[in-house]
Amino acid sequence: MKILCNTKSRIAGLLLILLTFLALQTNSFAQTPREDPVYLKGETIFKANCTSCHKVHDKLVGPALAGVYDKYDSEWLYSWIKNSQAMVEAGDPDAVKIFNEYNGSVMTAFNIPNEEIDAVLQYIKVETEVPVVADGGPIGENAPQEGSQMAIFLAIIALILLAIMFILNRVTGTLNELVREKMGMLVPEKWTFGDLMKSKKVITLASLALIIFVGYKTVDNAQRLGRQQNYQPAQPIKFSHELHAGINEIECQYCHAGAAKGKSAMIPSANVCMNCHKAIKEGPKYGTEEIAKIYNAIGWDVENQAYIEGYEQKPIEWIRIHNLPDHVYFSHAQHVTAGQLECQTCHGEVQEMEEVYQYSSLGMGWCVNCHRNTEVDFKGNDYYQIYEKFHEQMKSGEMKKVTVEDIGGVECQKCHY
Amino acid sequence: MYKRDFLVLFFTCIAAYFLGACQANGDFTGREYMPDMTHSKAYEPYVEGRTVMIDGDSVQLFPNNQAALKPVAGTVSRGYVPYYFEDTAEGYEEAGRALVNPLDAYDKTVLEQGKIAYEINCAICHGAKGAGDGPIVKSGAYPAPPPSYFREDILVLPEGKMFHSVHYGKNLMGSYASQLTKEERWKVIAYIKNMQAEKIAKDYKVSIEDAHQVALGKKPIPTEVTEETTDEAATEEAEVSTEDSTSATGEE
């Protein structure tokens, strides 16, 4: 088994090296159209000016550009790019047709020389006709497999070593005993498991430990009753905060726009999702399946890149995770805007959570502890200007720090009224 | 006797220990004691509507049992000022001519708050420095990168057109009217114009005031390096147009 595994991975490794070598060779000999300076120039211009509305293979705001160089002659394209609106007004049939097909959205006029337009067309031509070779594909696929094989191999070795250690230990133990017996030395009396269980000392100790442990858990569990720490419901869309807030670095408040302004942080409505998902139609993990649920809720026609008229929109029924009891008042704005707290202080590292769960207990002890320990940042925060006495005492050095408690953060009626 | 007490205590502890099973985990919300004190009678944001009994029939008070409703047709919220320009190419041009930022573009707080709003709402695509290279563009997740703010035509884009684009969305950019109030939008625009003016001042070696005028389209892009300072006539003109447009822009 061991040897088999080894030779297999070796062969695979050799093959891999050979393949990459071959791939590199073919690459270095043929001059690809993607290295052509005209193509590169076109790429730069395309990315700076066109990408916000056009893609080569897909429809966005404007049409897909693949094959556009064959469809129209270059003179027509020059004048369209330089001033499409003038052509529409002049009644050019092709121009009017496109203008109407795209619901009268006007293409920005680009005043650029013809040779730059040619470069862009060359870029589009190459992108249309020469398929992109995914380089490093096979390597990427094989690498993790190799890693896991290695791990299994190491685990087997470790297990075998452990077994050997155990056997050797037993052997030396028995040999020792034999030697002692032969030499007439005293062999220590052996304790059996039964004896151990009957010993008074052991029983007392064990029951004491049990009572302490169970007592602690009892109080702890009773306190947690009615709180929902670790609540992690399955949401209607498998939305990953890790992907959105972590990998793609979208600010929390981009979607939860209410956090700085009001009591509720707000669940974004589907139009906020559409800010990005008009263009991003496929996710890395679930493909189009989950994103299609947004389109379904808001009524977006992916084919035509437009909202369906007269569509009856349905809200996405997200499941609320954080609930405070009715008798507690809480405002996000107070904590986010006035207190300048990070979201993560209470919600945990949401940007690392694939599925969000309730990180904090939201119990009163938890609130009060934080209010006692948190220092209020007086500097440059106009909200706290009214605490003149504290400002003076801070200046004179009489007070080293002002906590939330000092400004009334643990008074009952601050949260319960 | 002593032994029995001990046993009772012990078994109570064991029973209480199993309170652990009442705790939230995964899809289970956990158990509550006194749920009446937990769940509000008044509607909290995002809760379901309740059914009430009217003449022996149970009636849902809200359509689809959803407590969050849209404003009644024909009503507006307090302080609401309508936006007069239509979502058409003509509306875009008109807004560009008529709208002027009602806020002081040199005010430090305006710029600071504009920066915060910009970083939350815009930087994700447009980039922290406005070069059109936000995190989702850089990572390749977003296939349609926006142009840089420093492209020649955008460098001098009228503020009104920017406001119009934020209000309705432009090309692939969605409308931000639901996330940013009118005042916040103007703050963001002031911040962007300030970035552009700084770039103009640096590139063409003009004073920052002049650069602002250039960025607002009130002066042409300087062709050569000059050391001229603010032109009085231009400032006066700017003031007049601000007064003209306050009626149209309004304040939240």
Packing angle, helices B232-249 and B89-98, rounded to 10: 120
- Name chain B contacts of A323, Cβ cutoff 8 Å: 38
Residue B87 domain-assigned?
A: no
- φ/ψ of B183, rounded to 5, equals -65, -45
A170-218: pLDDT as tens digits: 898 888 888 888 887 766 666 677 777 778 888 889 889 988 888 888 8
* Contact in structure between B226 and B206 (CB atoms under 8 Å): yes
From A53, A232, A264, residue closest to B172, measured CB to CB: A53
B176 contacts in chain A (CB < 8 Å)? 275
- Look at residue B239 in the predicted model and tell me its pLDDT: 45
**Cross-chain residue pair A49–B45, CB shorter than 8 Å:** no
Q: A4 pLDDT exceeds 70?
A: no
CATH number for A33-129 (one of 1.10.3720.10, 1.10.760.10, 1.10.10.10, 1.10.2020.10): it is 1.10.760.10
In this complex, do B172 and A60 lie within 8 Å of one another by their Cβ atoms?
A: yes
- Cβ of A48 within 8 Å of Cβ of B46? The answer is no
Encode pLDDT of A281-298 as tens digits.
888 888 888 999 999 999
Q: Report yes or no for ipTM above 0.85.
A: no
CA nearest to A215 within chain B:
B13
pLDDT tens per residue, range A95-139 = 777 777 776 677 777 777 888 888 888 888 887 777 776 544 444
Q: What SS3 class is residue A109?
A: coil
The answer to whether B211 and B190 have CB atoms below 8 angstroms apart is no
Q: Which residues in chain B have their CB less than 8 angstroms from residue A358's CB?
A: 24
Amino acid letter, residue B63:
P
Residues on chain B touching A55 (C-beta within 8 angstroms)? 143-144
Of A232, A275, A358, the CB nearest to B174: A275
Residue B185 included in any domain: yes
Residue B188 lies in a domain: yes
Min Cα–Cα distance to chain A from B51, Å: 18
**97-116 in chain B: CB under 8 A from chain A:** none
What is the SS3 assignment for B66-78? ECCCCCCCCCCCC
Structural domain includes residue B181: yes
**At A307, which helix (H) or strand (E)?**
strand A306-307
State whether residue B154 sits within 8 Å of chain A by CB.
no
**pLDDT given at position A356:** 93
Touching A: B residues 24-43, CB under 8 Å: 24-34, 37-41
Structure tokens at A289: 């399946």
Residue A25 confidence (pLDDT) = 45
Distance of residue A53 Cα from the nearest chain B Cα, in angstroms: 6
For the stretch A338-364, pLDDT in tens is 888 999 999 999 999 999 999 998 989
What is the per-residue pLDDT for B63?
Answer: 82
Q: Which of B29, B46, B172 sits opposite A228 (nearest CB)?
A: B29
**Which chain A residues are closer than 8 Å to B19 by Cβ?**
218, 221-222, 224-225
Distance from CA of B113 to the nearest CA of A (A): 12
Contact A233 B27 (CB under 8 A): yes
**Chain B interface, mutation test: which of A43, A47, A51, most B Cβ atoms within 10 Å?**
A51
Query: For residue range A36-85, what is the model confidence (pLDDT) as tens digits?
Result: 878 888 887 777 777 777 877 777 777 878 777 777 877 788 888 877 77
Of B13, B121, B145, the CB nearest to A52: B145
* Residue B50 in domain: no
Parent domain of B106:
102-232
Q: Confidence band (pLDDT; 50, 70, 90) for A141?
A: very low
DSSP string of A213-269, one letter each residue: HHHHHHHHHHHHTT--TTB-PPPSS---HIIIIIIS---HHHH-TTTTTSSS--PPP
Q: Give the total number of structural domains in chain B.
A: 1
B242, B174 contact by CB (below 8 A): no
Q: Are B147 and A49 within 8 A, CB to CB?
A: yes
Distance from B2 to chain A by nearest Cα, in Å?
Answer: 16
Does any domain span residue B28? no
- CA distances, A96 to each of A80, A90, A104, A105, A106 (Å): 11, 9, 9, 11, 11
pLDDT in tens, chain B (252 residues): 567 777 877 777 777 777 777 888 888 888 887 777 778 788 888 888 888 888 888 888 888 888 888 888 889 888 888 888 888 888 999 888 888 888 888 888 899 999 999 999 999 999 998 888 888 888 888 888 888 888 888 888 889 999 999 999 888 888 998 889 899 999 999 999 999 988 888 888 888 888 888 888 778 877 755 444 444 444 444 444 444 444 444 443
Rounded to whole angstroms, the Cα distance separating A393 from A377 reads: 14
Answer whether residue B33 is part of any domain: no
A292 within 8 A of A236, measured Cβ to Cβ = no
pLDDT at A148 over 80: no
B164 belongs to a structural domain: yes
Q: Which chain B residue lies closest to A232 (C-alpha atoms)?
A: B26
Are B38 and A253 a contacting pair at CB < 8 A? no
Say which of A234, A257, A318 has its CB closest to residue B179.
Answer: A257
* pLDDT surpassing 70 at residue A21: no
Given A225, A228, A267, which is nearest B46 (Cβ)? A267
| Of the partner residues A217, A251, A269, the one whose CB lies closest to the CB of residue B120 | A251
pLDDT of residue A190: 66
- Pairwise CB contact (< 8 Å): B147 & A233: no
What CATH number has the domain bearing residue B226?
Answer: 1.10.760.10
Residue of chain B whose Cα is closest to the Cα of A274: B174
B27 neighbors B15 (Cβ within 8 angstroms): no
| DSSP per-residue string spanning chain B | -HHHHHHHHHHHHHHHHGGGGGS-BBTB----SSHHHHS-SSPPTT-BPPEEEETTEEEESSGGGBS--PPPTT---TT-----S-SSHHHHHHHHHH----S-TT-HHHHHHHHHHHHHHTHHHH-TTSSS--HHHHTT--SSPPPPTTSHHHHT--HHHHHHHHHH-BTTBPP-TTTS-HHHHHHHHHHHHHHHHHHHHHHHT--HHHHHHHHTTSSPPPSS-------HHHHHHHHHHHHHHHHHH---
